[in-house]
Amino acid sequence: MVNINILKGLSFSGAVEFLLEEGYCEENVIEEENEECDKLFLYPYTLYDNNKKIVDEIFYAEYCMKGKDGEFEDYKSFWTRL
């Protein structure tokens, strides 16, 4: 299992590269409605054991507001475990 503090010290692309090198799999993005923002995007990275059971799951969470152009703009993002 990866220490999440390591990810916080890396750029997003560096953290993703590190997770993939450690054997984590990039999963499909999860979009959720959220009271704190217009849309919450969760990017899951999952580590499986040899029997395909989940050992660890880390998420990159992006809290986004809809901009004037209709695109979602990130105003708060961080690595987390749920």
- The residue segments making up the domain with residue 74 are 4-80
Q: How many CB atoms lie within 10 A of CB 34?
A: 13
The number of folded domains in the chain is 1
Give dist(CA 39, CA 30) in Å, integer.
10
Q: Is the pLDDT of residue 34 over 90?
A: no
Give dist(CA 32, CA 4) in Å, integer.
23
Give dist(CA 38, CA 52) in Å, integer.
34
**pLDDT of the residue at 35:** 86
- Please list, in sequence order, all residues whose beta carbon lies within 8 angstroms of the beta carbon of residue 22, skipping any fewer than 6 positions away: 2, 47
* 41-55 pLDDT, tens digit each: 999 999 999 999 999
pTM: 0.89
Band the pLDDT of 36: cuts 50, 70, 90. Answer: confident
Tell me whether residue 39 is exposed, middle or buried, using C-beta atoms within 10 angstroms of its C-beta: 0 to 12, 13 to 18, 19 or more: middle
